[in-house]
Amino acid sequence: MLHAKRILLGITGSIAAYKAALLVRLLVKAGAEVQVIMTEAAGEFITPLTLSTLSKRPVLSSFVGNPAEGTWNNHVELGLWADALVIAPASAHTLARCAFGLCNDLLSAVYLSAKCPVFFAPAMDLDMYRHPSTLHNIDRLASYGNHIIRAEHGELASGLVGEGRLAEPETIVEQLTHFFNQRGALVGRRVLITAGPTQEPIDPVRYISNHSTGKMGYAIARAFAMAGADVTLVSGPTALPLPHPAVRRVPVRSAAEMFRATEAEFEQADLLILNAAVADYTPAHPAHQKIKKKEAEFSLELTKTVDIAATLGARKRPGQLMMGFALETENEQENALGKLQRKNLDWIVLNSLRDAGAGFGHDTNKITVMDRGGNVRVFDLKTKEEVAEDLLTLVKEKLANP
């Protein structure tokens, strides 16, 4: 999958820069076109001559090309040329500059101009990698839709042993290959995803809601967008950034708004993933003014909201797929299977609040997936990004074997 792919390889000032020679060699061997961009500090660790020989292209390190001819290295054109930008090794300094949009050299200018996917492979000493500033910068870069190839555990240049080692060149190539394999899997497919909580107004100040953060739904949206799908994300109120630049987000607040937005997109969708934690009940008569605290007791009349999964499941056309989620606290599989059947779903993804690290608010999740064919798949506790990849794999398998 790397054949004829155009890879910009950014090399920064880290002792791990010596591994860039093998990385270039592996990429070229896989059929990729590689253009190396070095920072000034990177030249202290590996020579441009080595990398230009391996890549068969002149190494770029400054905006000025040939001063005598008045040529320059156009960062915008480079950003448009590439199918992927890989910054490996990415030093703590480069991570910080990119995270905050600082632009004082060719590599950072190319990063800010890049239209392609961007991969950061951090490399630094143990304590630098663990420092809250570095971790914050990595999280910030990931929140922009960039891909992080995590540093590995091992012996470091300082003699310490721990996390901070540049991922091996073979691992970086493997992750790039996986990315491009996944990227085209759902090209042309329209995927509609709901995520986050809903807020049901009591009065202009108060509302009924739940603990959903939207993290799982946003991770799913990102995974499917990276697989090439045309993703629409109907999102309840969250503090999360757009999961991927290609995702079209439709913000809503209440269960009624979520139903209307989802219904409007449903007919054109090839796949509907209902991950949102939608309120089952909403106040029957929301007050137009703030309710004052007067009585010792206060009762609130509630009415059922529209069951989005059941309503749209009844309208599902042949070939259209639907995946629902069930968060249970007892009789988990029995309750989830009942939802699968009643709502005409193709899959039901079960979460149990009895599983440590799963459910609302966590960065991890543990799921069991049941389908209409009676298959049950139990997954280990994973990050929500990994869970999203597992769900993507299930959908790809279904599309390959209808």
Of 74, 104, 137, 210, catalytic: 210
pLDDT per position as a tens digit, 361-370: 788 999 999 9
Distance of CA 265 to the CA centre of its chain: 22
Query: How high is the pLDDT of residue 222?
Result: 87
Overall average pLDDT of the 23-31 stretch:
96
Query: How high is the pLDDT of residue 85?
Result: 96
Catalytic residue check, 375: no
Binding site as annotated, residues for CTP: 280, 290, 325, 339, 343
Give the DSSP letter string of 231-246. Answer: EEEEE-S-SPPPS-TT
Peptide bond into 89 cis (omega under 30): yes
Cβ proximity of 92 and 128 under 8 Å: yes
Cα–Cα distance, 315 to 272 (Å, whole number): 12
Phi-psi region of 145 (alpha: psi -120 to 50; beta: other; left: phi over 0): left
Mean pLDDT for all residues in the chain: 92
Band (10; pLDDT cuts 50, 70, 90): very high
Q: Is the pLDDT of residue 36 over 70?
A: yes
What ranges do the domains of the chain cover?
6-183, 190-400
Cα–Cα distance, 22 to 55 (Å, whole number): 11
Cα–Cα distance, 132 to 128 (Å, whole number): 9
- Fold for domain 190-400? Rossmann fold (3.40.50)
- Fold for domain 6-183? Rossmann fold (3.40.50)
Contacts of 126 (CB under 8 A, 6+ apart): 156, 158, 160, 161, 162, 163, 164
Binding site as annotated, residues: 280, 290, 325, 339, 343
Query: How high is the pLDDT of residue 228?
Result: 84
Query: How high is the pLDDT of residue 401?
Result: 81
Query: How high is the pLDDT of residue 69?
Result: 62
Q: Is the pLDDT of residue 245 over 80?
A: no
pLDDT per position as a tens digit, 170-224: 999 998 988 887 666 688 899 999 999 999 999 999 999 999 999 999 999 988 9
Cα angle 188, 192, 197 (rounded to 5 degrees) comes to 155
pLDDT per position as a tens digit, 62-91: 887 666 666 778 888 898 889 899 999 999
What is this structure's pTM?
0.67
pLDDT per position as a tens digit, 386-400: 899 999 999 999 988
Burial of residue 402, with CB atoms counted within 10 A of its CB: 0-12 exposed, 13-18 middle, 19 or more buried: exposed
